[in-house]
Amino acid sequence: MSSKRQRVTVEVPSAGEAALPAVCYLPSVLEPSDAAESNDGPLKHMKFKVHSKHRLGSSIQMVHASFGDIDYIGRSDGSENRGLQTCYYALGVYQPGENKLQLVKVAGDRIFRLEPRLSDLIYEPTGAGLDFSTLEGGRKAAAHKLVSEFGSTRRRRRMDADEASKVTADKISGGAALQGMLTSMATHTKETGISKEEVTRRAFSQRTIPPHDPSATTAADAYPLDLLLSRNPGEADSDDRPSLVRELNAAEMHRLAEDEQMLQQAREKKKIHPYVLKKLGNLHRLKTSDSVQDQAKARERAKQLALLTVLLRLLECPFLQPKRDPVDAMAHELHVFKGLAEFFIGRFYNRMEDPVRGVRYERSIAQKQLLISYILAVAMVAEDGFLDAEQFEELRDILKMEPAVLLTCLRELGCDTRAAKTAIEGKGQIRIVHGYQCSLLRQTGRTIKTLEQCFPAINDKGKGRSRG
């Protein structure tokens, strides 16, 4: 016995960027007791919102669903969609009256996994982090991220203007923030009788710059390795524990400077950062010099380059989610001893408890600024306290920073800067770049300056105050 098959017309619209429909799935849903006892499922109580943005020919969608105190977030560029896309998805809409099946392209060509998010935690980009100030700050951070990615240009500008007027702990890095801090402390200073010098000292202590010697008169003495790698004040030091400086792999730098074959292998395997590889020529010249002073400088330079290698690799890892002990994982990844790995984790990361993914280590804005300051300080010392315009451009390129931002960071370290032109060769052409020269404690006059004297001055005078 046979039956006649019903014919259905299939329509496929022309391909294009689709913001809707978004196809999502929930890996788990927590049901409250009242919803579990009723006939209505939890999905009936959820509210879904879809955000979309288009940039440089690509489209990114985000789906946000709320259910009580729990949010569910899914993105077309989420971690589950970062792998190779082997297939594309469409949503079939069947119209019985017309015997027609219309295939509609889904948003982002992806199926979104809606992951649970607690409202009092900050997730960046998919992990969790406790708000260090208040729970309200976590909500503000989430709103800030939403506006940054999906808000209009006018809304983003207004938000940036509001944020620029605030001075918070994670933004204190330079004279501009310190100026606001001093102004806000003016009334308190008069009431408590704190001197102007004490207020300035307290403000400067909040800067995100590495440990330093304010009385130093040379670059090497201003940011010595012993200070940069000093343990936290609360951690006990003992004579039987090796120095953190000695845990640097300086021997590898010596071998690379001497063996051309090892140097070529390091380039191919990208084991050493390209910026550091370019500095090995100077290390080789110091090491092969007949001067005892140059040979001593070569030993110190190898340690500096070893530290610079580790710092640059740390900058490429804004968060860690190790499957084993984090200290062991970082020591293996960076080829350093456990003591140094523990030091880097404690200084440049915060330990977070993610209820979904487990323990996670994330870097705050202040910690990123501190890490960049570490890199700049070591780079300046490794160049004997001077960067020409070409070296400035090279450093700016690897840090991916705008010239004005890099200048501000260098000046906060006590560097003196001035405009200079340089010729940059690239893609078979030579172009003239308006760059900068930077120097750190390069004593040229009769008066010897200290590092403290080279720090940028803070203008603590009111705007309306007369000059007379």
Side chain identity at residue 115, one-letter code: E
Q: What is the largest CA-CA distance in the chain?
A: 110
Where do the domains of the chain lie? 9-119, 169-204, 219-318+363-454
Residue whose entry in the numeric block shows the structure tokens 């259910």: 67
**CA 261/CA 152 separation, integer angstroms:** 54
- Cis peptide bond prior to 21, omega within 30° of 0: yes
Using CB atoms within 10 Å of the CB of residue 7, give its burial: 0 to 12 exposed, 13 to 18 middle, 19+ buried: exposed
Q: Looking at residue 220, what is its pLDDT?
A: 92
Q: Sheet of 100-105: strands edge to edge?
A: 9-11, 100-105, 90-95
Q: Looking at residue 312, what is its pLDDT?
A: 94
Using CB atoms within 10 Å of the CB of residue 59, give its burial: 0 to 12 exposed, 13 to 18 middle, 19+ buried: middle
DSSP assignments along 312-348, one per residue: HHHHT-SEE--SS-HHHHHHHHHT--HHHHHHHHHHH
CB count in 10 Å sphere of residue 303: 19
**CA 112/CA 24 separation, integer angstroms:** 5
Backbone angles phi, psi at 86, to 5 degrees: -90, -15
- Tell me the sheet residues that pair with 6: none
What is the model's pTM? Answer: 0.57
If we measure between CA atoms, which residue out of 346, 343, 366, 315 comes closest to residue 226? 343
Tens of pLDDT, residue by residue, the chain (468 residues): 456 677 778 777 665 555 577 788 877 655 544 444 445 566 666 778 887 776 655 667 788 887 766 778 887 776 666 666 667 778 888 877 778 888 887 776 778 888 877 655 555 443 334 433 444 445 566 667 677 766 777 777 777 776 655 544 444 444 444 455 555 555 555 555 655 555 545 544 446 788 899 999 999 999 999 889 987 543 444 444 456 888 888 888 888 888 888 888 888 877 788 899 889 888 989 988 889 899 899 999 999 999 999 999 999 988 887 777 888 888 888 888 888 999 999 899 988 876 666 778 888 888 899 999 999 999 999 999 999 988 998 999 999 999 999 999 999 999 999 998 777 776 677 777 778 999 999 888 778 899 988 988 755 554 444 444
Q: Looking at residue 29, what is its pLDDT?
A: 59
